[in-house]
Amino acid sequence: MIPSMSEKGMKPSRYLLCLITMSMSLLILSSVFLLQSTTTSLLTGSVFKQIHINNSTLYFRPNSNSNSNENFNPGSVASTSNGNVQDLITPDSITSKEVRDFREERRTVCDTNEDILKIFMYDLPSEFHFGLLGWNGEGDQMWPDVSNVSRVPPYPGGLNLQHSIEYWLTLDLLASNTPSVVRPCSAIRVENASQADVIFVPFFSSLSYNRHSKPQGRERKSINRMLQEKLVEFLTSRDEWKRQDGKDHIILAHHPNSMLDVRKNLGSAMFVLADFGRYPTKVANIEKDIIAPYKHVVRTINEDSADFDGRPILIYFQGAIYRKDGGFIRQELYYLLKDEKDVHFTFGSVRGNGINKAGQGMASSKFCLNIAGDTPSSNRLFDAIASHCVPVIISDEIELPFEDVLDYSEFCIFIRASDAIKEGFLLKLLQGIKRDKWTKMWDKLKKVAHHFEYQYPSQPEDAVDMIWGAISHRISSISSVPFRLHRENRFRLTEGIAKINGLKKEEFLSHNRLPSKREGGRGGRKKKQSKNIL
């Protein structure tokens, strides 16, 4: 039977219809996929940035003037390290309507059922914390209202600021129970000690030392010492302390001389310190304690910081030259480098606009020296990082913050003190680091700099957030392997460069004892210096 014309046309028509339908479907699916991927790549890669808050994603347009800090007031809590006064979400200054709207929608208290660090904080009298800033609560008010940034008691500026760690951590814990403040949910304050992973002691010990370490008038004891003794009496009488002999307590003593009178009495606790330079091993050590970064005092420079060709100074150091203990290496290096071309090595203090001058000098230098002083660490390392100046660490006993997470060999140069004082060694080594290698380290510096920023409210992976992470790692014992690997990497780059530059291996790896003052080292030369040194 021969099919009719209508029957012949039906079959091709059905095929054509199916083909068109399938093509349209594929076209729609492709368009959706392309739109999503293109939007993400274009937004995050150009004029927009991406942030994650409470498991939500937001794309926003950064303020082009976000890194201006000419009016930076380091004594104001409402000022960020970038010098902008506002309620923050990210390291950049955000003022766009999209972000403000998003912030309003996401104002929620962190969920205590989540896997976050739970912290019980003692309600100590204000004389131990914000009272040291001149704050007095009304009635039975125990803590200041932290919901409004402009009303938070400001911390004193200048060099006081570099040891202000306890201030930022305490603010962050208070904010964790304040729905109007947006912050990372890495740690939260709980009201019951039995629910807590650790117990936080809110004593502003560094500020107490800086302001009240000398007896006044006819007093036999300083306010600082009396506060320390009262703290010991309070803690040792608490059931929370007795439960584990204080091993689950966090005590902040960032200034090398803070808690000096009672640290042995509280040595079972977890200390948050700048280094271990003035502590016996039984009281403080890397097995139980946390190293936190100083708060840098120079301004943070933006992503458009000067590159290799825009930094005419090869080596920069400005600060105290004549120091005691292991710090006398500074004067050894001073006599070796002071007359070298493209090297800035001078005494400096905070007087005469010293901090701003130091910031400008670092921002114009390729390498910034971080040399041991009276203690193994100094604020200079973090000033260098904020200036995107590759740090050169000459401090054999230094401990570094977050080294279980960060591999410092990617953005710092480590040189042993015994090698650094060999004539020509340091200069030849740094001259041997060419543009490509330096630029790689400079790029890494810009990526990690936000880990060393203190601000309120805290932000994802800033210094406050990283400290809570370090405490979590310590109590869970998950960080030992990467920590060891990163420490082993410290001198890897320097050894490679030394070989390339023709510095003999046996000469480079020598661990000769530094000459003492009695043996003719230049440590015998001393000058009277201001206490307000950088």
In sequence order, the β-bridge partners of residue 449 are none
- Nearest alpha-carbon partner for 421 in 521, 500, 287: 521
Q: Is the pLDDT of residue 223 over 80?
A: yes
**pLDDT tens across 410-427, in order?**
999 999 999 999 999 999
Determine the Cα angle at 468 with ends 93 and 260, to 5°: 110
Q: Which residues contact 219 (CB under 8 A, 6 or more apart)?
A: none
Cα distance between residue 368 and residue 357, in whole Å: 14
What is the structure's pLDDT at 89? 33
> CB–CB of 201/235 below 8 Å?
yes
What is the structure's pLDDT at 393? 97
What is the structure's pLDDT at 493? 75
What is the structure's pLDDT at 158? 84
Q: What's the mean pLDDT in 266-276?
A: 97
Confidence of residue 5 (pLDDT cuts 50, 70, 90): very low
Cα distance between residue 446 and residue 61, in whole Å: 20
Q: Is the pLDDT of residue 523 over 50?
A: no
- Nearest alpha-carbon partner for 288 in 251, 234, 339: 251
Q: Rounded to 10 degrees, what is the CA torsion of 66, 68, 73, 77?
A: 10
> CB–CB of 362/384 below 8 Å?
yes
* CATH class in words for 313-452+480-524: alpha beta
Least confident of 67-76, 101-110, 243-252: 67-76
**pLDDT tens across 296-319, in order?**
999 999 877 999 999 999 999 998
- Coil, helix or strand for 289? coil
What is the structure's pLDDT at 500? 61
- Coil, helix or strand for 480? helix
| Mean of per-residue pLDDT scores for the chain | 79
Least confident of 18-27, 197-206, 241-250, 507-516: 507-516
Q: What share of the chain is helix, strand, coil (3-state, %, to 5)?
A: 40, 10, 50
What is the structure's pLDDT at 316? 97
Q: Is the pLDDT of residue 123 over 90?
A: yes
> CB–CB of 241/268 below 8 Å?
no
Determine the Cα angle at 452 with ends 469 and 393, to 5°: 110
Two structure tokens written together for 123: 């309600």
Q: Is the pLDDT of residue 465 over 50?
A: yes
Q: Looking at beta carbons, which pairs linking 72-75 to residues 24 or more positions away fall under 8 Å?
A: 72/299, 73/157, 74/157, 74/158, 74/161, 74/297, 75/154, 75/155, 75/156, 75/157, 75/158, 75/161
Q: Is the pLDDT of residue 496 over 90?
A: no
Q: Is the pLDDT of residue 135 over 90?
A: yes
Domain ranges of the chain: 97-291, 313-452+480-524
**pLDDT tens across 145-170, in order?**
999 998 999 999 888 899 999 999 99
Confidence of residue 352 (pLDDT cuts 50, 70, 90): low
What is the structure's pLDDT at 320? 83
Confidence of residue 112 (pLDDT cuts 50, 70, 90): low
Determine the Cα angle at 201 with ends 196 and 203, to 5°: 160
Q: Is the pLDDT of residue 429 over 90?
A: yes
What is the structure's pLDDT at 18? 64
In sequence order, the β-bridge partners of residue 329 are none
